[in-house]
Amino acid sequence: MAGIYIHIPFCAQKCTYCDFASYPREIGKCEAYFAVMYKEIKYRAKTLKDKVFDTVYFGGGTPSFVNEKFIYGAMKLISQEFKIKPNAEITLELNPGTITEEKVKLYKKAGINRFSVGLQCADDGMLQRLNRIHTTDDFVSAMKLLDGENVSVDIMIGLENQTKDQIEKSIRLANDLGASHISLYSLKAEEGTIMYSKYLNGDLPSEDEVADFYDFSVKLLSTLGFSRYEVSNFCKDGKFSRHNLNYWLRGEYIGFGVSASSFIDERRFTNTSKIDEYIHLLLNDKYPEIFSENIEGDERKFEFIMLALRTTRGIVFSEYEERFGEKFMVRFSDRVKMLMPYLEIYEDCIKIKDEYLYVQNNIIIQFMD
């Protein structure tokens, strides 16, 4: 199976930590943007007729910020142009400050069956400092509108002056309002964002403090019935994100829209992040991709290892052997021996021990030749 990603770059205002392709002052180009994106969808569909897609994901930006008719139209076209599995997972990201009952009705009519809600923190002062447009009350109202739906909630740790009490309040609120999935993201201050200056000034928590926040959150989530299946993702009742799990299993995906990435037939390619250039290229019947590379040899193996070790299922030996025609424990016997204190080895798989999952990058890098 493969996934489809649709990037909606419009939003009400830029959050202080945001490094994504999002443009709060470009909403006037929304109609033109969707018109050419529909064109891109039709172009790509011609070469992907034989693939079956298991997930569709609307990300941003803020997909719920635009008129819901555009989401409905995009989903209708995708259903017409691609082979979508009957029980496909179809996710829409939304900001609590942009959701209405009418929008939810049309989203569900379009086939959206999973909602990813950006809470970030259940503290209004913190939300204001992050330049979020919603309040905690807005989040509560949004969750009530989505009552009974499959809902994931985003929560951030490592924010300026953040406390464990604030983190606990956020997690408990999401749980109490029916979230079946929580994505717990550590703030990473990217260069070029407003938050980056705070990082340079030393105003953000240290790595050790963030690691302590993470351990605290993992334990709390466990007591509430959430199982960790990837370093930043937790779910109840097996309701993991099929779309994101496809990335971690190194599955194929096709992306549409500004800055969208794709990985098909061992080729990775990315669209331009500039709206005007994106529209111009498609209006002139050209693909909007600006980067392309073919993944070969050992790079494929390392990607597989890197992604698999982020998950709690780890590297399944049979999957590795099927893909690369060699036994993992033979090929990497020296690395495994060196990293033995940090790994759990079973008959059918190898994984990073729970207590070291948060610092997995330092372990994974040892598998790179």
Spell out the per-residue pLDDT of the chain, length 369, in tens: 799 999 999 998 877 777 777 888 889 999 999 999 999 999 999 999 999 999 999 999 999 999 999 999 999 999 999 999 999 999 999 999 999 999 999 999 999 999 999 999 999 999 999 889 999 999 999 999 999 999 999 999 999 899 999 999 999 999 999 999 999 998 776 666 666 667 556 667 888 999 999 999 999 999 999 999 999 999 999 999 999 999 999 999 999 999 999 999 999 999 999 999 999 999 999 999 999 999 999 999 999 999 999 999 999 999 999 999 999 999 999 999 999 999 999 999 999 999 999 989 999 999 986
Q: What is the distance between the alpha carbons of residues 205 and 200, in angstroms, rounded to a whole number?
A: 12
CA of 235: how far to CAs of 12, 130, 179, 330, in Å?
A: 29, 26, 9, 34
Q: What is the distance between the alpha carbons of residues 187 and 355, in angstroms, rounded to a whole number?
A: 20
* CATH class, 298-367 region: mainly alpha
Residue 106 is encoded by which pair of tokens? Answer: 């049309």
Nearest Cα to Cα of residue 164 among 217, 225, 226, 228:
217
Q: Is 123 exposed, middle or buried (0-12, 13-18, 19+ CB in 10 A)?
A: buried
* Cβ-contact 64, 92 below 8 angstroms: yes
Q: What is the distance between the alpha carbons of residues 239 and 231, in angstroms, rounded to a whole number?
A: 16
The phi and psi torsions of 310 (rounded to 5 degrees) equal -75, -20
According to the CATH classification, is domain 2-247 in 3.20.20.70?
yes
CATH 1.10.10.920 positions along the chain are 298-367
CA of 191: how far to CAs of 20, 132, 155, 241, 346, in Å?
A: 12, 19, 21, 29, 41
CATH 3.20.20.70 positions along the chain are 2-247
